[in-house]
Structure 1
Amino acid sequence: MTQAELRTDGARPAVRLERELVDPPAVVWRAITEREQLRAWFPCDVDVAGGVWEVGAAIAFRFGEEMSDMTLTGEVFVVDEPKVLVFSWGEERLRFELAPHGSGTHLVLIDELPADAAARNAAGWDECLDRLAGLEPGDWKARFDTYAATFEPLVGPQSGPPTA
């Protein structure tokens, strides 16, 4: 696990996370774009209209009963296979960058978000990216507490997990 970085140099705050993955970019691309593979690591079901990641495609993000069957919507902004994928996730914007790293992939995830969601999302994405890397997720609460202590002086109070 690597520590998420809080970026405050853009129009909105963003958390930036990195992982070194053993699979090459083409394989990782499928893991971030194929619905069945996303279910293994992404925090909700991802349904792209027409099943094709293309600029302008609508996305539905469906959470289960633990989140009162909440659904967020999004839109695809950039598809540059197998290098860059950018889409909105509710009011956030996610950017996945993939680059070859030896026989594997260097993955960068940037989540532009509301300032009070930085610690919550950094902890959550740490868990998700651990799953993507085939690792057992760590302790979300401990990660959240660490990120909240680090991020609060920079962007203000941090919200905990969403309440259903």
Structure 2
Amino acid sequence: MLATIHKNQTGYIAQIECPLAHSICEVWAVLTENGKLQKWMSNLEMIEPKKNGKMRFNMNDGTDAFIDIAITDYIEQEVLEFEWGKDSVRFELSPTSDGSILVLHEKIGQLTDHTPKDLAGWHICLELLSDLLNDTVPGEFPMEAWQKRLAEYTLLIHEAEK
């Protein structure tokens, strides 16, 4: 389930496909309901779930600091897109014969040293989301697994730059 990365006119698109044996309603709930969302991505908080609405990225560092994030596209049970720094993240949800498929697209203007860290983080978060849907309550963020994915995404980014 490693991301694929493609160059386009404005930069790059990283895409991770996550097939899930769960209904669109169940998956949408873990993407948009704070009690579920924060179990797989503890920094995100849904404030106004709608197009031109707002999310927050909470620093979770004891300072109560946060960054407001604009929701740029929102179609109930289909699309959630939001700003991600200078880039954007888009989740698309579609039904399949045995559940649904969640596709994450990260639009990346410029590849940086932070890009593989970001993609490794999203990869791990999608695994935690899947665990949550499968009734496994995610614990602390698995840094060892993230380090492994970071090495894989560093190589992937290097290949994309060629």
Give the TM-score, by structure 1 length. 0.81
Greater percentage in strand: 2
* 2:60 paired with 1:59: no
**Which residue is equivalent to 1:105?**
100
Report the residue type matching 2:158 in the other structure. E
- Distance change in 2, residues 1:12/1:20 (3 Å): same
* 2:126 paired with 1:120: no
Q: Which runs of 4+ in 1 moved over 6 A?
A: none
Post-superposition Cα deviations, 1:76-103, rounded to whole Å, max 9, x if no partner, equal: 1211111111111332211101011123
CA distance in 2, matches of 1:78, 1:55: 5
- Partner SS for 1:39: helix
Post-superposition Cα deviations, 1:8-54, rounded to whole Å, max 9, x if no partner, equal: 12412232111111211111111101111110112513141xxx311
* 2:141 paired with 1:141: no
Report the residue type matching 2:101 in the other structure. H
Deviation at 1:127, TM superposition (A): 0.6
Question: What value does the CA root-mean-square deviation take over the aligned residues?
Answer: 2.3
Gap regions ≥5 residues in structure 1: 157-164
Post-superposition Cα deviations, 1:84-131, rounded to whole Å, max 9, x if no partner, equal: 111113322111010111231111001123411331122111110001
Report the residue type matching 1:130 in the other structure. E
**Which residue is equivalent to 1:41?**
40
Report the residue type matching 1:100 in the other structure. P
Aligned residue-pair number: 151
* Percent identity over paired residues: 24
Moved more, 129-138 or 139-148: 129-138
Q: Tell me if the contact between 1:43 and 1:128 (Cα under 8 Å) persists in the aligned partners.
A: no
